[in-house]
Structure 1
Amino acid sequence: MKIHIIGGGNLGVAIALGITKYAANNQVTVTKRNTETISYLQEKGIEISKNNAHHIQLADIVVLTVKPHQVETVLKEISSEIQNKTIISAVSGVSISTIQNIVGENHAVIRIMPNIAVQFGESATCISFEEKDKTEAQKVISLFQQLGTAPVIEEKLMDAATVLGACGTAYALRYIRASMQAGIEIGFDSQTALAIAAQTAKGAAKMLLEEKVHPEQLIDRVTTPQGCTIVGLNEMEHQGFSSSLIKGIKTSLQKIKE
């Protein structure tokens, strides 16, 4: 497919790089007003342009990775140039119906919420769509399954998906950073501590994804009576580890809904 990404920020670039590496049978164009910051994409076979409508008539899919307040302006800018396209929105807080009202009914509109790990083929990209667009949505699902996982969810959960899947990347990284800092305190140099903490988090996630069990079942394998793991876990819980994470996620969701 020919994929036209409007918005060359962190997420737009991550999607472009992910597609180029893990779904290489597709052609990608990225547009941004200031293309100097993304000029390196050309070396990877990605076309760039300052013009949002650049060759957009040839695109099979148009992906929006702009700010919410830019959506209406961008859609009106390209609307005269496109017919019967699949429009994918990775924009937080903008509903399918809002986009549909701007572009009309002759376009399929699908919402996605990836995270920046899409660049490395490891995103959890939540997808929602209306029943009338089911055929077009399947192509989108297949594309993002090559870039990680692509669960289909109800649109009303898209804000929650933003917090859990996209903001969640930062939460996971903060855990790794804290583990790294602790590692330094107990004797490792910073690079070794980071390598151990990051690989340990990756391994724990892989076990969950492969075995499809509750985290506590895997925790039970690591904890032994009167052992060092259980006392560490209990101390973290006494200090509010789980409750602070839950509160943080809920606070992020409240911010989106403001």
Structure 2
Amino acid sequence: MSNKIAILGSGNIGLSLAKGLIKANKYQPKQVILTRRNVAALAGLAEAGSVTTSDNAAAVSEADIIVLAILPQQLNKLLDEIKPAINIHKQLFISVVSGVNCEDIRKYLGLDIQVVRAMPNTAIAIGQSMTCIGTDKATAENINVVKSLFDTVGITVQINEELMTSATALCACGIAFFLRSIRAASQGGTEIGFHAHDALKMAAQTAKGAADLLLQLASHPEQEIDKVTSPKGCTIAGLNEMEHHGFSSAMIKGIKLSAEKAGVLYKKSE
């Protein structure tokens, strides 16, 4: 089998992964096969040398790594389509499908394939994804293969597979939560006098700086908060006002509800 990767369902996540792998020289364009019902949407990558097709089974038959990058409700139909083309001895499957266990995929196919789950987020488009990786019985070698692929588009963390649905809420849905908080901060900035476009830029860069403080200094949020808050000062007054209105509890409750919802997306589609 040739050294090719097939990305089935090339939407935002699939396309971004393909571009990252090619940019990092993990694969040459001709080694990347992309599938989508609307093949015309893949014209850019096709022109760059990648293989594009609407035939998922044909793509699987050509590849040694297969990425399942479709919605939970589309999974069973896709698995039915590709089953005849699967080689259980030579292929590794990577699933980025929310709420679907490795065992779910093996059980539906009735095949003992190697499956590793990966949960990136939309920051994959700029090479800044937080991707969580988990499996139940894939080999250490295959886990490392998956990590090396997603390391090209951000940061990876290996977690227990039973936490993958939680990772969906915290990291994938979490992008929207942090974006909403930045949007709210920019609206506050407009209310206190800044033009909307300036307020948004200021809020976004401030959020980016806050995140980098934690990542680059391996610091704790409260440690950095203490550096900004002084007795009877304006920062602690603002923080306490937000907490009085449920800022932290709202975020916690939202993440918890998203995790519950993510866990039943596939079950409801069966």
Specify every segment of 5 or more residues in structure 2 that has no aligned partner in the other structure, as ranges.
Answer: 265-270
Aligned partner of residue 125 in structure 1, secondary structure: strand
Matched, 1:78 2:82: yes
Q: Distance in 2 between matches of 1:168 and 1:199?
A: 18
Shift of 1:47: 3.1
Runs of 4+ aligned residues of structure 1 deviating over 6 Å after TM superposition are none
Aligned partner of residue 79 in structure 1, secondary structure: helix
Matched, 1:232 2:255: no
The 5-angstrom pairing of residues 9-158 of structure 1 reads 9-21=11-23, 23-26=24-27, 27-83=31-87, 84-101=90-107, 102=109, 104-105=111-112, 107-158=113-164
Q: What letter is aligned with 2:63?
A: A
Of 6, 9, 12, the match for 1:7: 9
Alpha-carbon contact 1:113-1:166 (below 8 Å) kept: yes
Q: Distance in 2 between matches of 1:172 and 1:204?
A: 12
Aligned partner of residue 229 in structure 1, secondary structure: helix
The 5-angstrom pairing of residues 166-245 of structure 1 reads 166-245=172-251
Aligned partner of residue 151 in structure 1, secondary structure: strand
Q: What letter is aligned with 2:133?
A: I
Query: Deviations along 1:49-80, whole A, 9 cap, x unmatched?
Result: 11113443332310001121222221222222
Alpha-carbon contact 2:147-2:156 (below 8 Å) kept: yes
Larger deviation: 157-166 or 32-41? 32-41
Q: What letter is aligned with 1:234?
A: N
Alpha-carbon contact 2:12-2:125 (below 8 Å) kept: no
Shift of 1:125: 0.7
Shift of 1:111: 0.7
Aligned partner of residue 124 in structure 1, secondary structure: strand
Shift of 1:43: 4.5
Q: Percent identity?
A: 47
Q: Distance in 2 between matches of 1:188 and 1:79?
A: 57
Return the TM-score normalized by structure 2: 0.88
Alpha-carbon contact 1:15-1:116 (below 8 Å) kept: no
Q: Distance in 2 between matches of 1:229 and 1:236?
A: 11
Aligned partner of residue 146 in structure 1, secondary structure: helix
Shift of 1:46: 3.8
Aligned partner of residue 157 in structure 2, secondary structure: coil
> Against the structure 1 CA distance between its residues 175 and 43, is the aligned structure 2 distance closer, same or farther, given a 3 Å change threshold?
farther
Specify every segment of 5 or more residues in structure 1 that has no aligned partner in the other structure, as ranges.
Answer: none
> Against the structure 1 CA distance between its residues 172 and 40, is the aligned structure 2 distance closer, same or farther, given a 3 Å change threshold?
same
Aligned partner of residue 91 in structure 1, secondary structure: coil
Equivalent residue for 2:256? 250
Shift of 1:99: 1.2
Shift of 1:236: 0.8
Q: Distance in 1 between matches of 2:123 and 2:156?
A: 13
> Against the structure 1 CA distance between its residues 216 and 45, is the aligned structure 2 distance closer, same or farther, given a 3 Å change threshold?
farther
Q: How many residues align?
A: 256
Aligned partner of residue 66 in structure 1, secondary structure: coil
Shift of 1:132: 4.3
